């Protein structure tokens, strides 16, 4: 029996310090060597297994790609963080990324958090002046029933504090606050904030807690979610009984992530630039220039409806099918053999009909050389 091959998946949780540090410290992935079909056939059984492991993990983790959407949001986030240098007696404004599902907002937030973490460590070192471990960024993910105590417990768990789930909300909050101050945390990313429902008392208490922490500690909050304005988190006021929450509208800076569109020439050019970046990352024996950006442009937009997450899932599954079936290239036929997420599949037929009849096109009228 031969020894098992090593899995190349990086299994970590971004909601604990150990996992976050691994995410920020590990080097970027190196793509597999591009082999021809003849070179593939010459591989031993074990070498082929290792190569396919490398390709599968690589295709599943392409990116983050520096799309215009990512660059715009990152630029705005850097602007806020670099100017949020207020002393402890002043409140640091918070930021909200509010966008539809599948547009890459969580990836944008976490990749910014990684860049910010690395910049802080490079500038100030791994230890604080008091000799504590520097933890520039904390990331917390909400659930559908997150209380104030749950949130404080999640903060304690991120820092790996003893008995992170013992005590009431205030006790856990005090422990988390001590960790935030001693580790000189500057950014707290809170993902899936859309789980908070301002009609529920407990959820309003959590939203108030965010405001309290931002008022008390020298940190910037970055909230990420879907439909946050509609849920009342960005409201100027929610009524006479919600005067405290009314301040959120003045303390939160909203950002959004726009979907890709092909209704305009600039939109089509941006779409093709994205596909060119994806094409350069695909490792298939029969790949060729234009395979993705030219030959599959309409197909990929119809199958993803311009949503980044749907596109990347389709690319990863298409590559896996192309490898398994021996095609070693992406084609419309290969893509038709894989399923995508429910929202993308629901819109697929209408979108494809629009492309087939020529009502819309994803291809720029004048392509720039690459």
3-state secondary structure the chain: CCCCCCCCCCCCCCCCHHHHHHHHHCCCCCCCCCCCHHHHHCCCHHHHHHHHHHHHHHHHCCCCCCCHHHHHHHHHHHHHHHHCCCCCCCCCCEEEEECCCCCCHHHHHHHHHHHHHHHHHHHHCCECCCCCECCCEEEEECCCCCCHHHHHHHHHHHCCCCCCCCCCHHHHHHHHHHHHHHCCCCEEEEECHHHCCCCCHHHHHHHHHHHHHHHHCCCEEEEEECCCCCCCCCCCCCCHHHHHHHCHHHHEEEECCCCCCCCCHHHHHHHHHHHHHHHHHCCCCCCCCCCCCCCCHHHHHHHHCCCHHHHHHHHHHHHHHHHHCCCCCCCHHHHCCCCCCHHHHHHHHHHHHHHHCCCCCCCCCCCCCC
CA distance 239 to 355: 48
Q: What's the confidence (pLDDT) of residue 344?
A: 82
Confidence grade of residue 366 (pLDDT, cut at 50, 70, 90)? low
CB atoms within 10 A of CB 142: 21
pLDDT exceeds 60 at position 248:
no
pLDDT exceeds 80 at position 234:
no
Mean pLDDT is lowest, of 42-56, 140-154, 222-236, for 222-236
Contacts of 1 by beta carbon, 8 Å cutoff, 6+ apart = none
Mean pLDDT is lowest, of 90-94, 201-205, 293-297, 339-343, for 201-205
Residue closest to 301 by CA, chosen among 263, 249, 257, 258: 263
Residue closest to 187 by CA, chosen among 223, 212, 215: 223
Q: What is the mean pLDDT of residues 60-64?
A: 92
pLDDT tens by residue, 146-197: 889 999 999 999 999 998 889 999 999 999 999 999 999 999 999 998 888 7
CA distance 20 to 120: 14
Q: Per DSSP, what are the bridge partners of residue 137? A: 187
CA distance 75 to 116: 12
Dihedral sign (CA 103, 109, 111, 112)? positive
In which residue ranges of the chain is CATH 3.40.50.300 found?
68-257
**The CATH fold of domain 68-257:** Rossmann fold (3.40.50)
Q: What's the confidence (pLDDT) of residue 315?
A: 97
Residue closest to 64 by CA, chosen among 343, 323, 344, 309: 309
Largest CA distance in the chain: 75
Q: What's the confidence (pLDDT) of residue 236?
A: 41
Q: What's the confidence (pLDDT) of residue 355?
A: 85
Determine if the peptide bond prior to 307 is cis (ω within 30°).
no
CA distance 183 to 185: 6
Query: pTM score, two decimals?
Result: 0.89
């Amino acid at each position: 029996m031969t020894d098992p091959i090593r899995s190349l998946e990086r299994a970590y949780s971004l909601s604990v310090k150990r996992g976050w540090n691994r995410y920020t410290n590990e080097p970027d992935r190196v793509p597999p060597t591009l082999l021809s079909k003849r070179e593939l056939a010459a591989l031993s059984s074990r070498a082929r297994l290792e190569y396919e492991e490398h390709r599968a993990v690589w295709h599943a983790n392409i990116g983050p790609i520096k799309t215009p959407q990512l660059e715009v949001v990152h630029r705005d986030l850097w602007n806020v963080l670099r100017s949020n240098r207020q002393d402890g007696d002043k409140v640091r404004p918070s930021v909200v990324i509010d966008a539809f599902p599948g547009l890459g907002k969580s990836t944008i937030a976490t990749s910014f958090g990684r860049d910010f973490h690395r910049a802080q460590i490079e500038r100030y070192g791994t230890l604080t002046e008091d000799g504590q471990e520097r933890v520039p960024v904390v990331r917390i993910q909400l659930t559908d029933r997150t209380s104030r105590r749950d949130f404080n417990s999640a903060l304690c768990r991120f820092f790996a504090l003893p008995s992170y789930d013992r005590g009431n909300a205030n006790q856990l909050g005090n422990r988390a606050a001590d960790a935030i101050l001693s580790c000189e945390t500057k950014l707290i990313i809170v993902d899936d904030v859309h789980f908070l429902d301002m009609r529920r008392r407990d959820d309003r208490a959590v939203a108030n807690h965010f405001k309290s922490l931002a008022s008390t500690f020298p940190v910037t909050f970055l909230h990420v979610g879907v439909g946050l304005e509609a849920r009342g988190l960005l409201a100027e006021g929610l009524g006479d009984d919600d005067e405290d929450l009314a301040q959120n509208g003045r303390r939160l800076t909203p950002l959004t992530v726009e979907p890709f569109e092909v209704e305009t020439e600039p939109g089509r050019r941006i779409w093709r630039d994205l596909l060119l970046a994806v094409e350069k990352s695909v490792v298939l024996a029969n790949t060729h220039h234009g395979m993705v950006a030219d030959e599959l442009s309409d197909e990929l937009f119809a199958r993803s409806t311009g949503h980044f997450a749907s596109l990347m899932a389709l690319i990863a599954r298409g590559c896996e099918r192309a490898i398994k079936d021996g095609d070693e290239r992406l084609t419309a036929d290969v893509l038709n053999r894989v399923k995508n997420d429910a929202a993308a599949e629901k819109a697929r037929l209408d979108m494809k009909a629009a492309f087939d009849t020529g009502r819309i096109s994803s291809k720029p009228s004048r392509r720039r050389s690459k």
